[in-house]
Structure 1
Amino acid sequence: MKFIMKHFPFLFLLVFLISCRDKGNTNQEDKYQVFINKAIFYRDSIINLDSAYFYFNKSKSITNDSQSDRKVYLLAEMAKIQKTKGDYIGSEATATEAFQYFNRVKDSAYIFSVYSSLGTSYQSLFDYENAIKHYDLCLNGKISKSERNTILNNKAVIYLIKEDYNKAVEILEPLIDLRRSDYEEIDYARIVDNLGYAYFKNNEKEKGYQLLNEALRIRDSLKNDTQLISSFVHLSEFYEDDNLVLAKEFAEKALKSAKKTDSPDDKMESLKRLIDLSQPRESKEYFNEYIKINDSMNIIKQMSKNQFAKIRYDNNLEIEKNEKLKLEKNLISFIFLGFGIISLLIFFLIRSKNKRDKLKIAYTTETRISKRLHDELANDVFNTMTFIETQDLQNETNRENVLQGLDAIYGKARSISKQTGEIRTGKEFGAQLNQLLMSYNSKQVSVIVKGSSAVDWEKIKANKQIEIHRILSELLVNMKKHSQAKLVLVSFETLEKTISIQYKDNGVGFEKEQITKNGLQNVENRILGIHGSITFESETNKGLKINIEFPK
């Protein structure tokens, strides 16, 4: 996303220059080489996959349909990037787009790359039948021994998930009998580990134990933390019934390695083991950490989906404008101006979203942000894109409708950004908290705040300040949406070792078992996260009283 922000002015200049030049085949090939070289550079750097996707898409946009092999290659690379970033549905759509070119490039290795991407996407979406189907299509193609072994291992993993351990053993046993020269050491260790796990789950514990330890030995010698995680998790599960201490020790090693590699999926898998193996209090801490990582992943994945859709949307819009420039030379200035206005609006929309990207991970533990992005923006963007694709933009009314739609999208994005903005901690926190509380004063609701200025907020840790801000924000949002309250009182009191906050309103209230339904479960989770306590007192039509207490 940062790449798009940085290069949008350059793209305007590029569009203008291209419109003024001869676009012969030689020129298109030169541009293709520039784009593809940048795409490969960013792809290989791994951390710039969004930029790689951008340039692969640019390369595809200037590739003729007659260049089928090239089209399949570009779509395969784009699908792999989307899969890596967690946009499995988008990856499926991109890979499927390549099918129309398959009949012209029957033996291309890129076809099997497409099938492989589809297989792993379906596997991640729990559509195991389709995953196996596309893995089998890969196996029928011209792929290397290493690729074949990887696909077979992936199939075996599906059968492990489905608890069909005999089938997993049937696939994996022949693989470890191959020559070691057919493998990289790390790939061999992966197959040995999965076979050992299959034996263990199939009640052949002795054989399973030997292979699990063999895989651990190889991975440890290679100092590969990414692969060690799998060994630690499998051994933790192996020891769970006979030696809980050792089972937990392996789970802790898995979490330590996952933190080294900074892999959210591996951290969550390790935390699930620790939640099951720990005492209640410690288990709750692991659970809270799991929830934070999971919420952050959901937000990142949703933003990735929007990001890839936006890149393709921008590119399609550029293509459409360039085609119009070819046909209507006399209107070039007007078309460029219109494109510039639309693109600038998109630029500001992306900049607004980037402000949200820069928030700390701790701020993004609520899935409601992701839900709001989906509910309030995705449909509008889709509808606007559909309108652009199907309507004549030379029509003044249609152009005006497009601008109005983009303006509405921009307005909604600004609103979301403002409501989830940065929380200033330290000496400015008290004033900001008061500002938050008083912002809910209106003709319909009176908010009274007592005792906030008596609290020495500078002595409260920053993470606690942030959680209290979020908690009170949640309560006020819930009040505004559901309570129909006319009067709200928020009072603060400093005790010897704790801070006490009392919230009261005269709204409709609710039964206690409806806490989750009313959106207050997040409030309870947050206060537990800072070792505080919370009690709810409410009955239908008798208002709501909440007592919060947390250590200084």
Structure 2
Amino acid sequence: MKKLLLLLLVILFSCNKKNKISKSGKTDYDKAYNYLISSEKDSAFKYFNSAKDFFIQENNPSFAGSCLVNMAIIQCDTGDYYGSQETALSAIKYLNEKKDTLEIVGNYNNLGVTFQNLKEFNKAAQFYNKAAHFSQDPIYQLTLLNNKAISYTYLKKYDSAIHIFNKILAFPNIKAQRKIFSKVYDNLAFTKFSQNPLYIAESELNEALQIRKEIHDNDGLNASFYHLTEYFENKDPKKALYYANENWQIAKKNNSPDDQLRALQKIITLESSNNSKHFFLKYQNLNDSLQTARNKAKNQFAMIRFDAEKMKNEIAENEVELLKRNIGLSTLSIFLIGGFFWYKKRKKRLQQEKELEVKNTQLKLSKKVHDVVANGIYQVMTKIENQENFDKEKALDELEFVYEKSRDISYENEDAKAEQDFNERISNSIGSFKNDIVKTYIAGNEKNIWENVSLPKQEEIYQVIRELLVNMKKHSKASIVSFRFERTNNEIIIHYKDNGIGVPGGVVYKNGLANMVSRIEILKGQIIFDSETEKGLKIDISFPVY
């Protein structure tokens, strides 16, 4: 992750070479930079997001793209890989391949890192290759090719990885570049050993280790110690344990919790049973702390964006209201002389009608709130009062159901939902997007498909389908949309397909789809985006009934 942060700083400094930017955008951009230097990443993310909005408004796409790249790198650095991918992909449309090569390299490298951390090594290799293609720095280009080769090693495409490593080592005067040389030399030896466990790699691994010690390359030492641990694990467990402990110490020095966890896993395996418990507790505590911190960061990034969007909407609404008021005043001025008294009388009548309408609406909503919310909460309170053994989870579920019912009041669809079977509700929702241009087709949406599917799950699936349809309408330009439903044993599968413009570069995570992915994860389901389709978009969603 420190490599990413270094690249981030390079991107920030590159802004001095660009065209002049506005005062408002520069102020927020400078604040983001200062917070980043202070390692206050949530604040840096917030001001990059704010600066990005200024740059988009001022039609300065290069700086908007730069902000998004930095935001994506911050998200990746804190473990929010899916969020980082969404942000990075949104940056692509703002970056110019001729003017913004540095940001493009950083963006593609970051996507490579996120996919590699999510163990999607083929995609990681593709993005590392794209980054190398745009890189204008020969040495950094070699680093990106090294990353691509590592992805091949994870895929067990050893020959392809070895070919790239040897190609890098054939670069003129590569040994003078001691950091990249030791990195590639170490990776090549370890890959040969991974391909053939009988390969004697000890001297090469130690040579790389010695170079890294001499140049104080702590990130490189972390990799060397881990590779030596792996190499000796089945050959000499004592040596392996020594290197695992060295790996742990350098990972702590680097403040890299992921590397610490990896080293601790090896120590637990190699230590005696009496000592392994001590290290297992350290591993467990560190892992819990890391997951808590990452979850907090993900929520923080989401809230920052939510608050920013909310503020923009409020400003836009105020501007619309101001415009309406100005138009009204202008119209009033034009007709004031000839129709003042008539206007005054009419205005009074309309005001009375409006007040009556508001009162009627308030009475209607008040009745619904009482019937749906008050009665629902009272029912939960009664159950809690009369139960000897209070079931907290069940009570929370019932309160969540009341919450969903109360939210539906604002959409005026409570009665419709109560009267419809779930399959009819889905069919009506899909059918509502049908028009002269878009044709929708449904297959398999029978009533028995949804038997024993709980109401909360139904609501999540309904929202997922609606998200798909909204995304289709906004972005896909599709004319044919189809949904096919099937149920196998205790699993429901939804096949979505349209003939729209699809997604660029075979990448499937676009704006607006993150919520859908989150909902499927909540259902413990799976969502697969088919990026190989020649035209359009194909998505398969599956989730357990129980």
Q: Look up the match of 1:55.
A: 47
Q: After the TM superposition, which of the residue ranges 159-168 and 260-269 deviates more from structure 2? A: 159-168
Tell me what 2:128 maps to.
Answer: 135
Matches within 5 A, 1:161-240: 161-180=154-173, 185-203=178-196, 208-240=201-233
Deviation, 1:51, is 1.5
Correspondence 1:261 to 2:261: no
Counterparts of 2:55 and 2:309 in 1: how far apart (Å)?
13
Aligned residues of 1:32 and 1:62 also touching (Cα < 8 A) = yes
Pick one of 89, 96, 100 that aligns with 1:96.
89
Distance 2:70 2:389 in 1: 57
Q: Is the 8 A contact 1:102 1:111 kept in 2?
A: yes
2:136 pairs with 1:151? no
* Contact 2:174/2:181, CA 8 A, preserved across alignment: no
Q: Any conservation in 1 of the 2:125–2:149 contact (CA below 8 Å)? A: no
In 2: Cα distance, 1:479 partner to 1:327 partner: 45
State how 1:266-345 maps to structure 2 within 5 Å.
266-329=259-322
Deviates more, 1:233-242 or 1:323-332: 323-332
CA–CA distance in structure 2, aligned partners of residues 184 and 35 of structure 1: 38
- State the distance in 1 between where 2:315 and 2:395 align: 48
CA distance in 2, matches of 1:220, 1:205: 27
Quick one: structure 1 residues 105 and 118, their matched pair in 2 at CA, closer, same or farther if it must change by over 3 Å?
A: same
Specify whether residues 189 and 205 from structure 1 end up closer, same or farther in structure 2 by C-alpha distance, changes over 3 A only. Answer: farther
Q: Kindly, what percent of the aligned residue pairs are identical?
A: 29
Please give the alpha-carbon distance, in whole angstroms, between the structure 1 residues aligned to 2:394 and 2:285. 25
> What are the equivalent positions in structure 2 for 1:237-256 lying under 5 Å apart?
237-256=230-249
Residues 294-318 of structure 1: CA deviation (Å, up to 9, x unaligned): 2222221111111111111111112
Given that 1:112 and 1:138 are in contact with CA atoms closer than 8 Å, whether structure 2 keeps it comes out as yes
CA change 1:32–1:192 in 2 (3 A) is same
Q: Tell me, what secondary structure is at the counterpart of 2:235?
A: coil
What amino acid maps onto 2:105 in structure 1?
F
CA contact (8 A) 2:105 2:134 kept: yes
Alignment correspondent of 1:414 = none
Using the TM superposition, name which of 297-306 and 157-166 deviates more. Answer: 157-166
Equivalent of residue 103 in structure 2, options 79, 104, 110: 110
Deviation of 1:237 after TM superposition, in Å, equals: 1.6
1:269 CA displacement = 0.8
- AA partner of residue 174 (structure 1): K
Residue deviations 1:286-340 (CA, integer Å, cap 9, x gap): 23322222222222111111111111111111222222333334999xxxxxxxx
2:498 equivalent in structure 1: none
- Decide whether the 8 Å contact of 2:244 with 2:263 is kept in 1: yes
Q: Partners in 2 of 1:288 and 1:183 — Cα distance? A: 44
Deviation track 1:156-192 (CA, whole Å, cap 9, x = no partner) reads 1112222222222111112223245687533332222
1:68–1:104 Cα contact (<8 Å) kept: no
Distance change >3 Å, CA 257–CA 99, structure 1 → 2? closer
- 1:178 is paired with a residue whose SS is coil
Distance across 1 between alignment mates of 2:316 and 2:154? 50
Instruction: Supply the distance in 1 between the matched residues of 2:395 and 2:84 (Cα, whole angstroms).
Output: 39
Q: Distance in 2 between matches of 1:50 and 1:183?
A: 39
Q: Please tell me whether the aligned partners of residues 229 and 243 of structure 2 are also in contact (alpha carbons under 8 angstroms).
A: yes
Alignment-derived partner of residue 86 in structure 1: 79
Q: Deviations over 1:504-541 (max 9, x none)?
A: xxxxxxxxxxxxxxxxxxxxxxxxxxxxxxxxxxxxxx
3-state secondary structure, aligned to 1:157: helix
Secondary structure (helix, strand or coil) at the match of 1:101 reads coil
Alignment of 1:64 onto 2:56: yes
Q: How many residues align?
A: 325
Aligned 8 A contact 2:72 2:110 in 1: yes
- The answer to whether the 8 Å contact 1:195/1:208 transfers is no
State the AA in 1 paired with 2:186.
Answer: D
Alignment of 1:8-19 (within 5 A): none
Contact in 1 for aligned 2:251/2:259 (Cα 8 Å): yes
Q: 1:477 Cα shift?
A: 8.2
TM-score in terms of structure 1 length:
0.53
Distance in 2 between residues matched to 1:183 and 1:190, nearest whole Å: 13
The structure-2 alpha-carbon separation of the partners of 1:479 and 1:330, relative to structure 1 and needing over 3 Å to count, comes to closer
C-alpha distance after superposition, 1:325-371 (max 9, x if no partner): 33334999xxxxxxxxxxxxxxxxxxxxxxxxxxxxxxxxxxxxxxx
| Secondary structure of the corresponding residue to residue 56 of structure 2 | coil
Please tell me the root mean square deviation across aligned C-alpha atoms, in Å.
3.5
Select between 105-114 and 232-241 the one with higher mean Cα deviation.
105-114
Secondary structure at 1:140's aligned position in 2? helix
Distance 1:279 1:182 in 2: 41
**Amino acid aligned to 1:217:** Q
TM-score normalised by the chain length of structure 2: 0.54
- Go from structure 1 to structure 2 and tell me whether the alpha carbon gap of 1:223 and 1:104 turns closer, same or farther (over 3 Å shift): closer
Looking at structure 2, the residues matched to 104 and 215 of structure 1 have their Cα atoms a distance apart, in angstroms, of 36
| Per-residue deviation, residues 433-481 of structure 1 (Å, max 9, x unmatched) | xxxxxxxx9875589xxxxxxxxxxxxxxxxxxxxxxxxxxxx989999
Gaps of 5+ in 1: 1-26, 333-395, 409-440, 448-475, 482-552
Cα separation, 2, equivalents of 1:307 and 1:135: 29
Q: Measure the CA separation in 2 of the matches of 1:190 and 1:88.
A: 25
Pairwise CA distance, 1:285? 2.9
Alignment partners' CA distance in 2, 1:445 and 1:207: 69
Question: Contact (CA 8 Å) 1:195, 1:211: kept in 2 or not?
Answer: no
Structure 1 position 207, deviation (Å): 5.9
SS in 1 for 2:115: helix
Correspondence for 1:17:
none
Are 1:34 and 2:21 an aligned pair?
Answer: no
